[in-house]
């Protein structure tokens, strides 16, 4: 976020160049293929603007150096001013890049709710294993051979005529087998009901985890989009300051305008974003338009 007052002349010259091109646009767009012509004209304007920025940077550099020397500065101090501007721009861009790299990139989102789902899944498996075992126990109890005590036939007939099974229910082996069977049935009903509930619990935990991951990803994309916009808001000013500073160095070092090689102005690059987060649909979060830069 570096700005130099000595670049005002460059900005003014660029505005004049763009204004001159705007004056001829209505005539150019009268051709049969307006979209193609518009693209061509915009490309031409951009190329011409870059050329004029460089040309004006050279003239501005000469003027700036002359004014500084007249005010008592030296070639050394002028060179230091240009170098300081270059360093400040590079440091500013590096700081912005660190800011972007330290933002939530969605990597941690995938861990949200994972332990909850794991626990629910473990309980689900345990309950169904117990349910299967309980069902097998019921079947085994039902198939158990029961050896009754001897009983007189007359007593059996008497109980049947009376409509009861007192002779059977009085047998200790029968009562023990019946008790074991009923216990197995009750336990089977209880544990299998828990198994059914565990199905719902697992589904709910998975839905909750997915919701947490989705919200986290959308929040990350929103933060990244805001950070990206902030990190790039001074690109134009940086480019102009960078160009003039390097041009000043060329001029001070006796390098001609034609041989003055200005290196690319540093800019931030897109930070790493978790692939799942990157492709998350965030339309319901009303941030769809701000995250397209990261698609």
Model-level pTM greater than 0.85?
no
Q: Are 76 and 200 in contact (CB under 8 A)?
A: no
Q: How far apart are CA 251 and CA 59, in angstroms?
A: 10
Q: What is the pLDDT of residue 143?
A: 80
Q: Are 20 and 12 in contact (CB under 8 A)?
A: no
Q: Are 58 and 257 in contact (CB under 8 A)?
A: yes
Q: What is the pLDDT of residue 41?
A: 28
Q: What is the pLDDT of residue 236?
A: 94
For residue 38, which of 49, 48, 27, 29 has the smallest C-alpha distance?
29
Q: What is the pLDDT of residue 156?
A: 61
Per-residue pLDDT tens, the chain, 295 aa: give them: 443 433 333 333 333 333 332 333 233 222 233 333 233 323 332 343 444 455 578 888 889 899 989 999 899 999 999 999 999 999 999 999 999 999 999 999 999 999 999 999 999 999 999 999 999 988 888 887 777 666 666 666 665 666 677 656 667 776 777 788 888 899 999 999 999 999 999 999 999 999 999 999 999 999 999 999 999 999 999 999 999 999 999 999 999 989 999 999 999 999 999 999 999 998 876 654 455 656 5
User: How far lies 180's CA from each of 134, 137, 183, in Å?
Assistant: 12, 10, 5
Which residues are CB-neighbours of 117 under 8 A, at least 6 positions away? 202, 205, 206, 209
Q: How far apart are CA 64 and CA 78, in angstroms?
A: 9
Angle (CA) 63-67-71 rounded to 5° is 170
């Amino acid at each position: 976020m570096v700005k130099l007052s000595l670049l005002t002349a460059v900005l003014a010259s660029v505005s004049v160049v763009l204004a001159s091109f705007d004056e001829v646009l209505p005539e150019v767009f009268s051709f049969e293929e307006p979209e193609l012509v518009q693209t061509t004209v915009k490309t031409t304007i951009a190329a011409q603007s870059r050329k004029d920025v460089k040309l004006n940077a050279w003239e501005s550099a000469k003027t700036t150096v002359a004014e500084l020397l007249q005010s008592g500065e030296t070639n050394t101090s002028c060179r230091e001013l240009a170098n300081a501007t270059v360093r400040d721009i590079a440091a500013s861009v590096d700081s912005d890049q660190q800011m972007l790299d330290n933002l939530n990139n969605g990597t941690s989102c995938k861990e949200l709710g994972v332990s909850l789902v794991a626990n629910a899944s473990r309980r689900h498996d345990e309950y169904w294993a117990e349910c299967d075992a309980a069902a097998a126990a019921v079947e085994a109890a039902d198939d158990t051979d029961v050896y009754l005590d001897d009983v007189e036939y007359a007593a059996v007939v008497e109980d049947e005529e009376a409509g009861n099974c007192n002779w059977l229910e009085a047998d200790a082996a029968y009562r023990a087998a019946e008790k074991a069977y009923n216990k197995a049935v009750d336990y089977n009903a209880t544990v299998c009901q828990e198994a059914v509930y565990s199905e719902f619990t697992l589904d709910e935990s998975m839905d909750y985890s997915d919701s947490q991951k989705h919200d986290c990803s959308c929040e990350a994309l929103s933060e990244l989009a805001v950070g990206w916009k902030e990190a790039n808001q001074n690109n134009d000013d940086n480019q102009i300051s960078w160009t003039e500073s390097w041009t000043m160095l060329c001029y001070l070092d006796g390098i001609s305008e034609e041989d003055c090689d200005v290196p690319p102005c540093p800019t931030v690059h897109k930070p790493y974003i978790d692939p799942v987060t990157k492709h998350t649909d965030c339309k319901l979060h009303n941030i769809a338009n701000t995250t397209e830069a990261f698609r």
